[in-house]
């Protein structure tokens, strides 16, 4: 048998990793003034680099006062993706080639052009994106994740600071070039000692298969989304899941106090939350008081109202503008992130100089499908979104449960394109639900119809039937 060729090593620069580690460690202890100085210096460098290397930003920033970030133009994902070649700072980056790259699932975490890390966004805002990171940006993300993540087991970390004795399972969408999946595979290649103890487990499989995979791997740490953690907690409480992790890390969705308590009670361990996005992987981490702290030395968040005006501290904006100070290759300056974030002016009781924030994350529901007198089949909202996006190519949708086996799929797309997209989506969704054990679900479709808004003002993508 022909031997398997070794996988290409992802970009990693040891010197950048070292210098960034020293900087982040010193900034964490230095205080608010030192954080502000670093932020101002990095913003000036980003604006100068973008004006010089990005044709898109050269035009956008012409005549602008770089000292007044709030006066610079707002940018949106759809616009940047349309102008991709003008946007990026390396003329060797072409969108068509990147799309071919991320379409090949065998190349997850492979270096692109031998020097870049690439991942794709899920398209939850209606427009999928492709994000390219160089070694400098990855050094920042790696360091923030390593140094500012909460320590849930201080004694264990004292004895094993590199997690070499842990078995870590990521439960999520493992078949695409998503940021979490790429990060897991990249770490496996860079740290061979961790490779056998770090595994991605797909939440697209039926719940019984997911439970069996977790029990077989017996993770000591589970990293996943809050909705998936709650579903696994239900399986644990029902006696169907034996795996007993000592830590659970969550992100990507809103983790309510009630959900945190339920998961902690089910597993008898602590739960930590973090905040990140495809646009900036490690924006905020929890302190020991359970509050999220923004990595304000490397990322700027501006909560704004519907007219783009700054909202005061303590108030959630209609959306949030992100400026990524780490990535000069693909500049993001006042980028409409779409999340509702609240910045707090008062210091946290933990003593951290990093500002505390609250995030109004995704507000989608887990569906429970099935007829009376049968065990309902739980289907995670992120699994449904992944299937509709990846297999049906439908990004603008809302799926509403109307009955135990009755779903309504809406899309803002109209005309022939909308009908074709809904036809694909119905077929794909029917097959997926049947594979989950929820056969016979009726799926009605409506084109040219906006989704219903939730209480927060956001449009949820998956709505369960009220109990």
Q: Is residue 416 part of a domain?
A: yes
- Angle at the Cα of 372 from the Cα atoms of 440 and 466, rounded to 5 degrees: 90
Q: Is residue 8 part of a domain?
A: no
Output the pLDDT for position 1: 44
Output the pLDDT for position 104: 95
Q: Is residue 194 part of a domain?
A: yes
Q: Is residue 113 part of a domain?
A: yes
> What is the CATH classification number for the domain harbouring 353?
3.40.50.12780
pLDDT band at 187 (very low <50, low <70, confident <90, very high): very high
Q: Is residue 84 part of a domain?
A: yes
Q: Is residue 9 part of a domain?
A: no
Name the token pair of 220.
């000591």
Output the pLDDT for position 220: 97
- Single out the residue in 360, 387, 415 at which a domain terminates: 360
Residues 98 and 163 in one domain: yes
Residues 321 and 440 in one domain: no
210, 238 Cβ separation under 8 angstroms: no
Least reliable range by pLDDT among 117-131, 295-309, 323-337: 117-131
Residues 266 and 378 in one domain: no
Least reliable range by pLDDT among 92-96, 121-125, 129-133, 415-419: 121-125
Work out the mean pLDDT of the chain and round it to a whole number: 91
Output the pLDDT for position 124: 55
222, 245 Cβ separation under 8 angstroms: yes
Residues 212 and 130 in one domain: yes
Give the domain extent around 378: 367-463
Q: What is the DSSP string of 246-259?
A: SEEEE-SS---HHH
Give CA–CA dist 363/84, Å, rounded: 30
Residues 181 and 306 in one domain: yes
- Single out the residue in 335, 360, 385 at which a domain terminates: 360
Assess whether pLDDT exceeds 50 at residue 456: no
For 74-88, what is the mean pLDDT?
A: 95
- CB count within 10 Å of CB 358 equals 17
> Which residues on neighbouring strands pair with residue 462, listed in sequence order?
399
- List of residues 6+ apart from 265 with CB closer than 8 A: 233
Residues 371 and 355 in one domain: no
pLDDT tens sequence across 139-150: 999 999 999 998
Residues 266 and 415 in one domain: no
Output the pLDDT for position 177: 94
Residues 109 and 184 in one domain: yes
User: For the whole model, what pTM was predicted?
Assistant: 0.86
> Which residues on neighbouring strands pair with residue 356, listed in sequence order?
293
pLDDT tens sequence across 430-455: 999 999 999 899 999 999 888 776 64
For 120-137, what is the mean pLDDT?
A: 82
Residues 381 and 329 in one domain: no
Residues 199 and 299 in one domain: yes
**Which long-range contacts (C-beta less than 8 Å, at least 24 apart) are formed by 54-57?**
54/86, 54/87, 54/88, 54/89, 54/331, 55/86, 55/87, 56/80, 56/83, 56/86, 56/87, 57/87, 57/331, 57/333
pLDDT tens sequence across 313-370: 999 888 999 999 999 999 999 999 988 899 998 989 999 999 999 998 666 889 999 8
For 71-91, what is the mean pLDDT?
A: 95
For 275-291, what is the mean pLDDT?
A: 94
Q: What Rg value do the Cα atoms of the chain yield, rounded?
A: 22
Residues 254 and 294 in one domain: yes
- Angle at the Cα of 282 from the Cα atoms of 299 and 188, rounded to 5 degrees: 145
Q: What is the dihedral of CA 222, 224, 230, 236, to 10 degrees?
A: -30
For 83-97, what is the mean pLDDT?
A: 97
Q: Which range is most confident: 209-223, 242-256, 402-416, 434-448? A: 209-223
Q: Is residue 5 part of a domain?
A: no
pLDDT band at 458 (very low <50, low <70, confident <90, very high): low
Query: What percentage of the chain reaches a pLDDT higher than 70?
Result: 95
Q: What residue spans of 290-446 are helical by DSSP H?
A: 381-392, 415-435
199, 232 Cβ separation under 8 angstroms: no
Give CA–CA dist 149/286, Å, rounded: 7
- Single out the residue in 360, 388, 419 at which a domain terminates: 360
- List of residues 6+ apart from 271 with CB closer than 8 A: 229, 247, 248, 249, 250, 255, 260, 263, 264
Residues 329 and 450 in one domain: no
Q: Is residue 6 part of a domain?
A: no
Q: How many domains does the chain have?
A: 2
> What is the CATH classification number for the domain harbouring 405?
3.30.300
């Amino acid at each position: 048998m022909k031997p398997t060729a070794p996988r290409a090593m992802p970009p990693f620069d040891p010197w950048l990793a070292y210098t960034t580690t020293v900087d982040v460690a010193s900034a964490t202890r230095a205080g608010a003034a030192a954080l502000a100085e670093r932020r101002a210096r990095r913003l000036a460098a980003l604006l100068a680099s973008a004006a010089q290397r990005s044709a898109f930003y050269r035009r956008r920033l012409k005549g602008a006062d770089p000292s007044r970030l709030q006066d610079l133009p707002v940018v949106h994902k759809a616009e940047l993706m349309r102008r991709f070649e003008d946007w990026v700072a390396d003329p060797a980056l072409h969108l068509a080639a990147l799309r071919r790259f991320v379409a090949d699932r065998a190349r997850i975490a492979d270096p692109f052009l031998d020097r870049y890390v690439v991942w794709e966004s899920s398209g939850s805002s209606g427009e999928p994106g492709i994000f390219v990171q160089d070694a400098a940006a990855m050094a920042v993300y790696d360091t923030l994740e390593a140094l500012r993540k909460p320590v849930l087991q201080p004694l264990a970390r004292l004895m094993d600071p590199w997690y070499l004795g842990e078995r870590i399972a990521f439960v999520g969408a493992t078949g695409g070039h998503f940021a979490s999946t790429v990060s897991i595979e990249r770490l496996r290649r860079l740290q061979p000692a961790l490779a056998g103890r770090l595994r991605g487990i797909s939440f697209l499989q039926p719940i019984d298969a997911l439970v069996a995979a977790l029990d077989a791997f017996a993770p000591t740490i589970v990293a996943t989304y809050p909705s998936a953690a709650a579903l696994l907690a239900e399986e644990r409480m029902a006696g169907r899941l034996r795996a007993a992790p000592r830590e659970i890390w969550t992100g990507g969705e809103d983790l309510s106090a009630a959900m945190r308590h339920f998961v902690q009670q089910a597993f008898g361990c602590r739960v930590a939350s973090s905040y990140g996005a495809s646009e900036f992987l490690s924006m905020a981490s929890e302190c020991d008081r359970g509050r999220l702290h923004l990595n304000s030395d490397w990322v700027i968040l501006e909560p704004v109202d519907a007219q783009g005006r700054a909202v005061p501290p303590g108030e959630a904006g209609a959306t949030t503008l992100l400026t990524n100070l780490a990535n000069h290759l693909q500049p993001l300056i006042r980028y409409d992130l779409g999340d509702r974030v609240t910045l707090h002016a008062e210091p946290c009781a933990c003593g951290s100089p990093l500002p505390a924030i609250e995030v109004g994350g995704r507000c989608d529901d887990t569906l429970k499908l099935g007829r009376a007198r049968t065990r309902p089949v739980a289907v995670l909202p992120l699994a449904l979104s992944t299937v509709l996006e990846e297999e049906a190519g439908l990004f603008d949708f809302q799926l509403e449960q109307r009955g135990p086996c009755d779903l309504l799929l809406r899309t803002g797309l109209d005309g022939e394109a909308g009908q074709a997209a809904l036809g694909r989506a119905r077929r794909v969704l029917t097959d997926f639900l049947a594979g989950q054990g929820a056969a016979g679900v009726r799926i009605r479709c409506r084109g040219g119809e906006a989704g219903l808004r939730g209480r927060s003002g956001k449009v949820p993508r998956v709505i369960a039937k009220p109990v």
